[in-house]
Structure 1
Amino acid sequence: MNKVTQFFWWCSGVHQATIAKYPAEQNKYVGIGATIFFTGLFAALSGGYALYFVFSGTSFSIVYALLFGLLWGLAIFNMDRYIVSSINKNASGGKQFLQATPRILLAVLIGIVIARPLELKVFDKEIREQLRTTYLDRQRAHIDTLNKAFEGKYAIELAKTAELKTERDSLESAIKSDRIKLKMETFGEKTVETSGIVGYGPYAKQRQAELDKQEQYLDTLRSRIQQQEIYLRQRKQFEGLLDNQLLTGGSLDSVVNLAGFADRNAALGNLKYNQDGSVNSTNYWSITFIMLLFIFFECLPVFVKLMSARDAYDITLYDQQKVDIHHSGKNRDAEINAMDQTHDHHIQTLIHRRTRELDAEDYT
C-alpha cells in the first residue's frame, strides 16, 4: 500500500518528502493522483481504440493501436499532472481561478477527445445498424445517379424501345380480339363484324390470313425489341450499371466491419436524430451525458485542487520555495560580488603594471 500511495502522490505532482510530514493531507493527494492516473488510462484506451479503426484490416493494426494508445495516454497523463501541480494555492481565489481557466478549457477539450472513441464502443450495435442504412442509401443514390445519366445518354434508343413495346402490346391486344372474332365466325355467331355462316368459309379464311400477317409482324416486333434490349444491356455493362448491385447479407456485414473512424463517428452523430430530422431524445441525451461525464472526470482534479482549502502542505511548500529563492538570491549576489572583486583586482593589477612601465620609460 505504501508503494501504491507513493505512486499516486507522484501522479498528483506533490513533493513526496514534504507531504509525508502531514498525514491529514495525504489522502487528498492520493485521490487527486488516482484521478489523474485513471484519466490517462481512459485516454490510452480511447486513443488506441480510435487508431485501431484507422488501421483496421491491416496486419499491424493492433500493434499501431497499442503504441499510439500508450503514447496518447502518457501525453494526457503528463498534461493533467502538470495542470494540477502548477496551480498555486497560496494565491488569492480570483488569481487561482484565472490560473485554472485555460487549464479547465484544455481539460474540457481533452475530455471531449477522450469520450468520443469510447462512445463509439458503447453504441457499437446501434452504429452498425446506422451504417447499414447509410451504406444502402448511398448505394441507392449512386445507382439512381448512374441510371439517370444512362437514360440521358441513350434517350433515343430507350424511346425507340419503349415505342416498339407499346406497338407490341397494342398488336397483341388486337390479335387477341381478332382470334375471338375468328372463333365466332367459325361457329356462325351473327354480329356486326361476322357473317353468321357456320364453318370455315371465305370470311373465316380471310380473317385467318389477316391474323397470320399480324402474328408475323408481332414476331418481327419481338425480334427488334430483343435486339434493342441486348444492345442496351451491353451499353449498361459498358457503363458499369450492372456491376452496381445492392449489398445484402454477408457482403453488407463485411463492409460495415471495415468502416473507418470517420464513418462510425458520422453514424454516431446521426443516431441523435430521427429520419424526419427531429431529435431522438433518448440517444441524444445518452451520448451527451457520456461526453459530459468524461469532461467532468477530466476537470475533476482541477476542481478538487481549486475547492480545497490552503493546507499545511501548501504553506510549507510555499515557505520552502521562498527560502530556496532567498538562498538562490544570496548565492547569486555572492557570485556577483566575487566576480566584481576579481574584476577590480584584475584592473588594479593592469594599472600598476602600466604605471611601472611608464616610470621605466621616463627613467631611461
Structure 2
Amino acid sequence: MKKITDFFWFCSGAHIETLVKNSTEHNKYVGIGATIFFTALFACLSGGYAMYFVFSGNPVAVVFALFFGLIWGLAIFNMDRYIVASIKKTGSTNHQIMQALPRILLAIMIGIIISRPLELKIFDKEIRQKLKTSYLNGQRSKIDTLNKAFNNKYSLELAKYGELRDEKDSLDKDINRSRYVLNQEVFGDKTNQTSGINGYGTYAKQKEAVVNQKVERLTQVRSDLSQMDKILSTRKEIEGLNSTKLFNETQLDSLVNIAGFADRNYALGQLSFNPDGSRDIDTYLAITFISFLFILLECLPVFVKLMSDKGPYDIALQNVEAVSIYKSEKDKDHKLIVIDNILETRNDVVTDKKKILLKRKKDKDLDQEI
C-alpha cells in the first residue's frame, strides 16, 4: 500500500517531502493522483483504439496502436499533473478560479478528444449498420448518376430502342389477334370480321397473307432490336454500367471492416438523426452523456483541488516556497555584494595606477625643465 500511495502522490504532482509531514492531507492527494492516473489510462485506451483504425488492415496496426496509445496517455498524464500541481490554494477564491479557468477549458477539450474513440467502440454495432446503409445509398446514387449520364449521352439510340420494343409488343398482340380471326374464318364463325363460310377460302388466304406480313415484320423488328440491344450493351460496358452493381451483404461487411476513423466518426454523428432527418433524442442523449462523463472525469482533478479547503500541506508548501525564494534572493544579494567588492577593488587598483602614471609624468616634466 505504501508503494501505491507513493505512486498516486507522484501522480498528483505534490511535493512529497512536504506532504509526508502532513498526514491529514495524505488521502486527499491519493484521490487526486488516482483520478489523474485513471484519466490518463482512459486516454491511453482511447488513443490506441483510434490509431488502430488509422492503420486498420496493416500487419503492424497493433504495434502502432500500443505505441501511440502509450505516448498519448503519457502526454495527457503529464498535462493533467501539471494542471493540478500549478493551482495554488494560498490565493483568494477568485484568484484560484481565474487561475484554473484556462486549465478547465483545456480539460474540457481533452475530455472531448479522449471520449470520441471510446464512443466509437461503445456504439460499434450501430455504426456498422449505419455504414452499411450509407455505402448502399452511395452505390445507388452512383448507379443513378451513371444511368442518367448514359441516358443523356445515348438518347437517340435509346429512343430508337424504345420504338422498336413498342413496335414488337404491338406486333405480338396484333399477330395473336389476327391468327384468332383467321381461325374463325377457317372454321366458319360469323363475325363482323369474318365471312362465316367454312373452309380455307379466299378470305382465309387473304387473312393468312396479312398474318405472314406481320410475322415477317416482327422478325425484322426482333433482329433490329437484338442488334440495338448488343450496341447498347457494349456502350454500357464501356461506360461502366454493367460492372457497377449494388453491394451484397458480404461486400458490405468487407467495406465496414476496413472503414477508417473518419467514416466511423461520421456514422456516429448520423446515429443522432432518424431517416427522416429528425433528431433521435435517445441516441443523442446517450452519446452526449458519455461525452459529459469523460469531460467530468478530465475536469475532476481540477474541481477537487478547487473545492478542497486550504490545508496544512498548502500552508507548509507556501512556507517552503517562501524559504526557497528568500534563499535565492539572499544568494543573489550575496553575489551582487561580491561583484561590487571585486569592482571596487579593481577601481582602487586603477586609481593607484593613475596616480603612479601621473607622478611619473610630473617627474618627467621636471627633468625636462632642468
- Residue 47 of structure 1 and its aligned partner are, at CA, apart by 0.6
- Residue 354 of structure 1 and its aligned partner are, at CA, apart by 2.0
Identify the residue that residue 218 of structure 2 maps to in structure 1.
218
Identify the residue that residue 22 of structure 2 maps to in structure 1.
22
Matched, 1:281 2:281: yes
| CA shift digits 1:39-70 (9 cap, x unpaired) | 11111110110111111111221111111111
Q: d(CA) in 1 for partners of 2:140 and 2:23? A: 68
Q: d(CA) in 2 for partners of 1:244 and 1:47? A: 37
Identify the residue that residue 344 of structure 2 maps to in structure 1.
344
Identify the residue that residue 114 of structure 1 maps to in structure 2.
114
- Segments of structure 2 that go 5 or more residues without pairing to the other structure are 365-370
Identify the residue that residue 157 of structure 2 maps to in structure 1.
157
The count of residues paired between Structure 1 and Structure 2 equals 364
Q: Secondary structure at the match of 2:10?
A: helix
Q: d(CA) in 1 for partners of 2:228 and 2:41? A: 66
- Segments of structure 1 that go 5 or more residues without pairing to the other structure are none
Q: d(CA) in 2 for partners of 1:154 and 1:346? A: 102
Structure 1 counterpart of 2:242, one-letter code = L
Identify the residue that residue 231 of structure 1 maps to in structure 2.
231
Structure 1 counterpart of 2:148, one-letter code = K
1:269-348 map, 5 Å? 269-348=269-348
Q: d(CA) in 2 for partners of 1:140 and 1:342? A: 89
Identify the residue that residue 367 of structure 2 maps to in structure 1.
none
Structure 2 counterpart of 1:34, one-letter code = A
Identify the residue that residue 46 of structure 2 maps to in structure 1.
46
Structure 2 counterpart of 1:123, one-letter code = F
Instruction: Write out the 4+ residue segments of structure 1 that deviate beyond 4 Å after TM superposition.
Output: none
Q: d(CA) in 2 for partners of 1:361 and 1:282? A: 103
1:137-176 map, 5 Å? 137-176=137-176
Q: d(CA) in 2 for partners of 1:86 and 1:336? A: 31
- Residue 169 of structure 1 and its aligned partner are, at CA, apart by 1.1
Identify the residue that residue 204 of structure 1 maps to in structure 2.
204
Q: d(CA) in 2 for partners of 1:41 and 1:235? A: 59
Matched, 1:75 2:53: no
- Residue 249 of structure 1 and its aligned partner are, at CA, apart by 1.7
TM-score normalised per structure 1 = 0.99
TM-score normalised per structure 2 = 0.97
- Residue 282 of structure 1 and its aligned partner are, at CA, apart by 1.4
Identify the residue that residue 62 of structure 2 maps to in structure 1.
62
Q: d(CA) in 1 for partners of 2:220 and 2:53? A: 59
Q: Secondary structure at the match of 2:180?
A: helix
Identify the residue that residue 186 of structure 1 maps to in structure 2.
186
Structure 2 counterpart of 1:349, one-letter code = V
Q: Secondary structure at the match of 2:227?
A: helix
Q: d(CA) in 2 for partners of 1:24 and 1:243? A: 75
Q: d(CA) in 2 for partners of 1:43 and 1:26? A: 26
Structure 1 counterpart of 2:318, one-letter code = Y
Structure 2 counterpart of 1:112, one-letter code = I
Q: Secondary structure at the match of 1:89?
A: coil
| CA shift digits 1:83-108 (9 cap, x unpaired) | 00000100000000000000000000
Identify the residue that residue 260 of structure 1 maps to in structure 2.
260
Q: d(CA) in 1 for partners of 2:44 and 2:273? A: 30
Identity of aligned residues (%): 54
Q: d(CA) in 2 for partners of 1:67 and 1:206? A: 92
Identify the residue that residue 247 of structure 1 maps to in structure 2.
247
Q: d(CA) in 1 for partners of 2:31 and 2:270? A: 38
Identify the residue that residue 10 of structure 1 maps to in structure 2.
10
Q: Secondary structure at the match of 1:329?
A: helix
Moved more, 291-300 or 205-214: 205-214
Structure 2 counterpart of 1:203, one-letter code = Y
Q: d(CA) in 2 for partners of 1:10 and 1:192? A: 110
Identify the residue that residue 127 of structure 1 maps to in structure 2.
127
- Residue 192 of structure 1 and its aligned partner are, at CA, apart by 1.6
- Residue 138 of structure 1 and its aligned partner are, at CA, apart by 0.6
Q: d(CA) in 2 for partners of 1:190 and 1:246? A: 57
